[in-house]
Structure 1
């Protein structure tokens, strides 16, 4: 167990998850768009690291569906309609805590400054925080804002912003997240310890975390 001055968390698939079934949402998206379904939720997740940096949720999903369409040998031009239908159907407030998340946040707050570093826009992610009643649970919240120079993880900018606000050094900070590509690689680049939550999505093992957790239920064993 280590002592840290600052503890930072990712949001999606780390502290929370959708309370609606991802497969059902995707099926309804394709049905409403009148397009034969050519991908699964897992294939959407796998395409995320290949996407360019964008400013809005709509741009993100348009690029996401275009990328997956290309991989499935489908005309990427369907992406605009799919992005529109997806955004019509999704509900950012339909989220629930991941196992152990509430206790992990309380545990962290007793031991140092607490930050949120999320690869999501302020508006959408704030709706999730409010739905979970944890908007005020963090000493600093860092959202993706390319226009302000805050690019998505693994870029170091969001980590730098969080550490500056928390007045913490990299060697006294740990970042907790579910993505080896974004959370662990970004933390490693900053010299920050990382706690990776293995969600079973079969990610590449190119980046080695400091700690591996099956869930946040065992978070108190490392901090």
Structure 2
């Protein structure tokens, strides 16, 4: 294995607390609609989010349409008739977006880890599926924007993870061969399998572990060449 000289990261679920931000945002959204803010209602919302975002990622529908489809899927199940026009659906979804944005937050250890990696001589990069405007806004709002040597967003790159073109763009932006890069993410297919297919090392992290552990411990263990990447309370898997 080549010595790692650069470390790339996924954003949502890895450095940025999308689930926590979205849970708070959707609770506020449901309250605005007069709906029950329950775990069951949340689960319905996130199931629709996952299904429709994947349809966008695969090129089946537009980004805006996946938002509309989420409302069309969720609202009837919760007893609300969704608007019939695209304009009204878009206006309603913006109520959620505003609540979600107000709750944006990075995981507490993310900026410290990125800063430490750069101080240790590693180049750091980001590779995220999403729209350029929203993902850059997340980075600015959380202060993560200043922590990378390269930022790659699928909309700008023209390829979505796990497409090899996205990972090659990351390696090129970091100015190292893929074999000299480690990629860290929370999705076994989009992040880890995609990275490995291009010759990068891949480290799978799980921010939902209970109790939560430190992503820094998993990354540093990998960079030290440790064979045991799982620390107590945190699940990490690399190759």
| Pair 1:142-2:152 in alignment | yes
Note the alpha carbon deviations across 1:24-52, whole angstroms, 9 max, x for none.
Answer: 42233345456788552542454356423
Which 10-residue stretch deviates more, 48-57 or 160-169?
48-57
Note the alpha carbon deviations across 1:193-213, whole angstroms, 9 max, x for none.
Answer: 111111338xxxxxxxxxxx9
- The 2-side partners of 1:23 and 1:222 are apart by 31
Sort the Cα spacing of 1:106 and 1:21 in 2 relative to 1 into closer, same or farther, 3 A. Answer: closer
Sort the Cα spacing of 1:2 and 1:160 in 2 relative to 1 into closer, same or farther, 3 A. Answer: closer
Figure out how many residues of one structure are paired with residues of the other and give that number: 208
Map 1:24-173 → 2, pairs under 5 A = 24-33=24-33, 39-40=42-43, 42-44=46-48, 46-47=50-51, 50-53=54-57, 58-66=64-72, 80=89, 83-91=93-101, 94-109=103-118, 110-145=120-155, 150-173=158-181
- The 2-side partners of 1:144 and 1:34 are apart by 36
Which 10-residue stretch deviates more, 101-110 or 50-59?
50-59
RMSD of aligned C-alpha atoms?
A: 3.6
| Pair 1:191-2:190 in alignment | no
Gaps of 5+ in 1: 202-212
Gaps of 5+ in 2: 224-239
Sort the Cα spacing of 1:2 and 1:163 in 2 relative to 1 into closer, same or farther, 3 A. Answer: closer
Sort the Cα spacing of 1:64 and 1:171 in 2 relative to 1 into closer, same or farther, 3 A. Answer: farther
Q: Report the TM-score when normalising by structure 1.
A: 0.73
Q: CA deviation at 1:215?
A: 3.4
Greater C-alpha Rg? 2
| Pair 1:15-2:10 in alignment | no
Bigger relative contact order (CA 8 A; separation at least 6): 1
Q: CA deviation at 1:74?
A: 8.8
- The 2-side partners of 1:76 and 1:113 are apart by 50
Which 10-residue stretch deviates more, 122-131 or 53-62?
53-62
The answer as to whether partners of 2:6 and 2:180 remain within 8 angstroms in 1 is yes
Specify which structure has the higher proportion of helix.
2
